[in-house]
């Protein structure tokens, strides 16, 4: 098992299959994009498959989330999903995506064994979408969400970040829209993971503010089921059955219950989203390490995990890799 010195067990693997993205969200990266990983540094499909297999067969991984960058632009994604599903019917498999291309790929992903998608969408307004993402693609995202829902990749979870003065007046509209389409909406506090290092705490829209905005139009009641390791606090909307989630990563950290481990597109284990150190599996893998040796390296990487992200400590330092290169 992938345990750490605080007794946390990590059975939830988030694996980035590319650091590239086809949007340019202002809170994520500059307009010109980033220096992408050179192709030889990115794990091949076989290498990805092998590391997932080690995670599942030897280290107790029960949930695999494919992330990026934008994972749908990875050519081999459907095969990687298929290969992962073949390991175990009971694994929970999902993709975090911006939705572009989902309309085209939803059927193939279901056929390969994917269970569901998490879609990132911050606004329903085409002009705002263009401002936030620097691309005019809102219609594609909407069609992608619909296709995922129709293909059975449910519940379609929609993740929204509210940005002060940009879209923070849309909380209620987004929730109304999500309920009408049977999507599960979750608001996420913006975290300091942008490439430009422009995040400022006083600009962040807090969970408290999100609640205050939603409660102007909806009655929110905490769901009775325990939250476990889930990052979202869930609330019934107007008595249910619809729910809304709030992920208060900064103001109400949930690190004590963390079960997540990350693998970057270039084969580095990150034991925390905010880790400042990584453990190289790709180098060992390409040097001929056995599965057992790779598993041992992975176990050792988890043992040094810190208790939490430390954003609220004065000594906090943002990780060198931005979110798009870590995998969400």
Question: Which residues bind to ligand SF4, rule: CB under 6 A?
Answer: 253-255, 258, 260, 272-274, 308-309
Task: Supply the minimum distance, in Å, between the C-beta of residue 15 and ligand SF4.
Answer: 14
Cβ pair 164, 205 in contact under 8 A: yes
The token pair that represents 191 in the structure block: 């975290």
Smallest gap, in angstroms, from Cβ of residue 251 to ligand SF4?
13
* Euclidean distance between the first and the last CA atom of the chain, given in angstroms as a whole number: 22
Tell me how many degrees the CA angle 141-158-302 measures, rounded to the nearest 5.
115
Residue 249 corresponds to which tokens in the numbers above? 């990563």
Q: How far is the CB of 217 from ligand SF4 (least distance, A)?
A: 30
Place of tokens 């009408």: 180
DSSP H helical ranges for 222-290: 282-286
Least distance between ligand SF4 and beta carbon 316 (Å): 11
- CB-nearer residue toward ligand SF4: 116 or 260: 260
Structural contact between residues 119 and 161, judged by C-beta atoms closer than 8 angstroms:
no
User: Which residue lies nearer to ligand SF4 by CB, 66 or 274?
Assistant: 274
Going by C-alpha positions, the residue among 176, 189, 296, 316 that lies closest to residue 242 is 176
Residue 306: CB minimum distance to ligand SF4, A: 7
* CB closer to ligand SF4 out of 107 and 308: 308
Compare residues 297 and 309 and give the one whose CB is closer to ligand SF4. 309
Q: Nearer Cβ to ligand SF4, position 10 or 83?
A: 10
Are the beta carbons of 133 and 23 closer than 8 angstroms? yes
């Amino acid at each position: 098992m992938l345990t750490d010195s605080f007794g946390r067990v990590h059975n939830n693997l988030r694996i980035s299959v590319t650091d590239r993205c086809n949007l340019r969200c202002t809170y994520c990266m500059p307009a010109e994009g980033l220096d992408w990983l050179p192709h030889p540094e990115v794990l091949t499909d076989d290498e990805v498959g092998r590391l997932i297999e080690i995670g599942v067969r030897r280290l107790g991984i029960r949930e695999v989330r494919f992330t990026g960058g934008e994972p749908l632009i990875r050519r081999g994604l459907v095969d990687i999903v298929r290969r992962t599903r073949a390991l175990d019917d009971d694994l929970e498999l999902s993709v975090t995506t911006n939705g572009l291309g989902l309309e085209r790929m939803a059927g193939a992903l279901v056929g390969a064994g994917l269970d569901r998608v998490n879609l990132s969408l911050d606004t329903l307004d085409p002009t705002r979408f263009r401002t936030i993402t620097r691309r005019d693609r809102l219609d594609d995202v909407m069609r992608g969400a619909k296709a995922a829902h129709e293909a059975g990749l449910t519940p379609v979870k929609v993740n929204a970040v509210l940005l002060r003065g940009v879209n923070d007046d849309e909380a209620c509209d987004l929730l109304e829209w999500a309920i009408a389409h049977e999507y599960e909406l979750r608001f996420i506090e913006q975290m300091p993971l942008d490439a430009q290092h422009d995040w400022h705490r006083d600009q962040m829209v807090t969970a408290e503010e999100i609640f205050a905005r939603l409660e102007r139009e909806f009655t929110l009641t905490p769901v009775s089921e325990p939250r476990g390791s889930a990052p979202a606090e869930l609330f019934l909307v107007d008595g249910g059955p619809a729910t809304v989630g709030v992920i208060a990563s900064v103001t109400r950290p949930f690190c004590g219950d963390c079960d997540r481990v990350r693998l970057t597109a270039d084969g580095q284990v990150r034991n925390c989203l905010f880790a400042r150190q990584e453990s190289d599996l790709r180098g060992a893998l390409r040097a001929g390490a056995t599965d057992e040796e790779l598993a041992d390296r992975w176990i050792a990487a988890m043992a040094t995990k810190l208790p939490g992200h430390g954003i609220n400590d004065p000594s906090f330092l943002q990780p060198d890799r931005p979110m798009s290169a870590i995998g969400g």
